[in-house]
């Protein structure tokens, strides 16, 4: 097998096309050209036309059964393939056609493990369908129609080649981009990126990125990746459910302990002190708990600057994107009435920094990851009654009616646990 610079095993592409010159030009430029020069990848092109059997070098013919356009004859296509195998050795063969599964990052990763890949580019209306039986797989690059497979072949070559050692200048950049893996096959769109100037046409780079708080920056990027994926490509997100083993706690007033237990959650009450709870759970589970607000729709948002969602699935994804679902991380649901008057700063409840002179001297040493904000209708509480109750909370000890919690918890937990 061929090796490139530094002894790295090289990846050989064979491209079969009626337009080898169109493919060759692109591959000379940029990092691809460098990778070829360094010997990390090689690209050999073969023109089907050289394998036509008549003296006019005919490669196309009309379709049986009629219809518009011409098809590539199977003879020259398969002869070209067999010639390359005989001359340069076996390869994994891919026929490009819009009538095929879509090429994606997962396919790129799979193909990047192979030593040799043959790519067949169609022209005209496509291939005689019997060519499918002579290749290992068929791939499309998306739901649109191109005149031929050459551009699609270049898409494959670039996406696959850049995953190989030595092709990218900075292999670390692979880990942080869209569709990179976060554990399993989780896929998120990339967060937004900015460079100088700090203000462009009145649009300012987000303040958090201008500062040096690495933890806040990481948090911003995770949240934006999550937000974008839900807004632009919700079908991309992994299908997550809360696993049965995930330790679940609920921070709530003591009189709700039985309701909370009946949902399989462990109640945490007594003097409500997040720092103490954090210490206790970290000791028990080996990692710090994640806090999730549970808003009851009473116009008393737990933490205004963290993503609030009426859809518990979104909150699950947010936990996943911040890595909370990976191990045995304890999750603590915090009833919003527990946090009476939060002060927030970039998603971090800062009661610790600005202690409220309230009954419990509550301290929040950790960021609330997200808030599940149930609307009043979601748990069938008349809005007017809720508003009245909210006023009561503000003037007295927080008190949450058990039957509300019961409804909200069963809704939230059944959604979180569904696949
Ligand atoms: Cl692989 N070929 C052609 N001709 N059109 C396409 C395609 C491939 N993928 C999407 N559109």
Ligand 1 centre to CA of 162 (Å) is 21
| Of 92-101, 133-142, 207-216, 329-338, minimum mean pLDDT range | 329-338
The answer as to whether 216 is a domain residue is yes
Please name the residue ranges forming H helices in 295-401: 312-321, 383-395
Q: Which of 102, 122, 131, 145 for mutating ligand 1's site (highest number of atoms within 8 Å of CB)?
A: 145
Q: Per-residue pLDDT for 113 more than 90?
A: yes
Do 137 and 63 lie in a common domain? yes
> How much distance in Å is there from the Cα of 378 to the middle of ligand 1?
46
User: Domain for residue 169, yes or no?
Assistant: no
What's the pTM value of the predicted model, to 2 decimals? 0.78
**Quick one: 252 and 224 in the same domain?**
no
Note whether 270 and 410 are same-domain residues: yes
Calculate how far, in angstroms, residue 78's C-alpha sits from the geometric centre of ligand 1: 20
For residues 152 and 51, state if they share a domain.
Answer: yes
* Number of domains present in the structure of the chain: 3
Q: How far apart are CA 367 and CA 302, in angstroms?
A: 12
CA 101 to ligand 1 center in whole angstroms: 11
Question: 251 CA to middle of ligand 1, Å?
Answer: 54
26-37 confidence digits (pLDDT tens): 999 888 999 999
Question: Do 98 and 209 share a domain, yes or no?
Answer: no
The radius of gyration computed from the CA coordinates of the chain, to the nearest angstrom, equals: 29
Are 305 and 347 contacting, i.e. CB atoms less than 8 angstroms apart? yes
Which of 161, 194, 227 delimits the end of a domain? 161
Residues 156 and 33 in one domain: yes
- Between 273 and 195, the higher pLDDT residue: 195
Residues of the domain holding 397? 248-416
pLDDT tens, 348-362?
A: 333 322 333 332 334
The confidence band for 184, taking pLDDT boundaries of 50, 70 and 90, is very low
Greater confidence (305 vs 327) lies with 327
Q: Quick one: what percent of the chain has pLDDT higher than 70?
A: 75
Sequence-ordered list of residues with C-beta below 8 angstroms from that of 148, at least 6 positions apart, any chain:
17, 18, 19, 121, 122, 123, 124
Same domain, yes or no, for 324 and 295? yes
Q: Could you tell me if residue 133 is inside a domain?
A: yes
Residue 132 pLDDT grade (very low, low, confident, very high; cuts 50, 70, 90): very high
Mutate to test the pocket of ligand 1, among 152, 155, 156, 157 (most ligand atoms within 8 A of CB): 152
Using the 8-state DSSP alphabet, how is residue 62 labeled? P
Whether 176 is in a domain gets the answer: no
Task: Answer whether residue 277 is part of any domain.
Answer: yes
Kindly state the percentage of the chain with pLDDT values over 90. Answer: 49
Same domain, 255 and 322: yes
Q: What 3-state class would DSSP assign to 394?
A: helix
Same domain membership, residue 359 and residue 226:
no
pLDDT-derived band at 180 (thresholds 50, 70, 90) equals very low
Cα dihedral angle (77, 82, 85, 90), rounded to 10 degrees?
90
Burial (Cβ within 10 Å: 0-12, 13-18, ≥19) of residue 141:
buried
- Asked if 99 contacts 140 with a C-beta cutoff of 8 angstroms, the reply is yes
In a shared domain, residues 148 and 190: no
Ligand 1 atom closest to the Cα of residue 144 is 11
- The answer to whether residues 10 and 133 belong to one domain is yes
Residue closest by Cα to atom 7 of ligand 1:
98
Q: Distance from the CA of 145 to the center of ligand 1, in angstroms?
A: 5
- Interval 38-80: pLDDT, tens: 999 999 999 999 999 999 999 999 999 999 999 999 999 999 9
Helix (H) or strand (E) run with residue 34 in it:
helix 30-38
Q: Which residue's CA is the nearest one to ligand 1's atom 3? A: 146
* Cβ < 6 A, ligand 1 pocket: 96-98, 122, 140-142, 144-146, 148-149, 152
Are 15 and 151 found together in one domain?
Answer: yes
Give the pLDDT band of residue 96 (cuts 50, 70, 90). very high
For residues 81 and 51, the answer to whether their CB atoms sit within 8 Å is no
On whether residue 166 sits in a domain, the answer given is: no
């Amino acid at each position: 097998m061929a090796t490139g610079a530094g002894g790295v095993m090289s990846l050989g592409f064979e491209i079969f096309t009626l337009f080898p010159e169109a493919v060759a030009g692109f591959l000379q430029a940029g990092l691809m050209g460098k990778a070829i020069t360094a010997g990390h990848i090689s690209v050999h092109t073969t023109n089907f036309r050289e394998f036509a059997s008549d003296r006019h070098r005919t490669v196309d013919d009309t379709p049986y059964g009629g219809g518009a356009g011409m098809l590539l004859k199977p003879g020259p296509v398969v002869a070209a393939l067999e010639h390359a195998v005989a001359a340069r050795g076996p390869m994994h063969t891919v026929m490009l056609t819009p009538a095929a599964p879509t090429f994606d990052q997962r396919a790129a990763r799979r193909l990047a493990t192979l030593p040799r890949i043959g790519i067949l580019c169609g022209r005209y209306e496509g291939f005689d369908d019997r060519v499918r039986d002579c290749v290992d797989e068929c791939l499309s690059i998306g739901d649109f129609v191109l005149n031929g497979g050459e551009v699609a072949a270049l898409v494959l070559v670039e996406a696959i080649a850049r995953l190989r050692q030595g092709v990218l200048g900075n292999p670390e950049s692979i880990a942080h981009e869209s569709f990179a893996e976060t554990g399993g096959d989780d896929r998120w769109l990339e967060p937004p990126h900015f460079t100088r100037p700090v203000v462009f046409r009145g649009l300012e780079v987000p303040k958090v990125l201008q500062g040096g708080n690495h933890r806040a920056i990481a948090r911003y990027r995770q949240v934006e990746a999550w937000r974008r994926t839900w807004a632009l490509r919700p079908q991309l997100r992994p299908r997550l459910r809360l696993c049965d083993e995930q330790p679940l706690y609920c921070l709530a007033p003591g009189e709700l302990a039985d309701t909370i237990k009946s949902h399989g959650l462990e109640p945490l009450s007594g003097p409500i002190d997040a720092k103490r709870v954090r210490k206790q759970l970290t000791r028990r589970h080996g990692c710090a708990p994640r806090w999730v607000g549970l808003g009851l729709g009473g116009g008393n948002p737990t933490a205004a600057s963290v993503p609030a969602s009426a859809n518990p699935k979104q909150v699950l994804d947010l936990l996943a994107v911040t890595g909370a679902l990976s191990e045995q991380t304890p999750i603590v649901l915090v009833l919003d009435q527990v946090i009476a008057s939060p002060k927030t700063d970039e998603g971090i409840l800062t009661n610790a920094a600005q202690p409220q002179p309230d009954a419990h001297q509550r301290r929040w040493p950790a960021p609330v990851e997200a808030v599940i904000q149930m609307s009043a209708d979601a748990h069938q509480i008349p809005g007017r009654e809720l508003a009245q109750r909210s006023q009561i909370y503000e003037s007295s000890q927080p008190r949450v009616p058990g039957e509300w919690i019961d409804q909200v918890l069963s809704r939230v937990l059944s959604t979180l646990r569904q696949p």
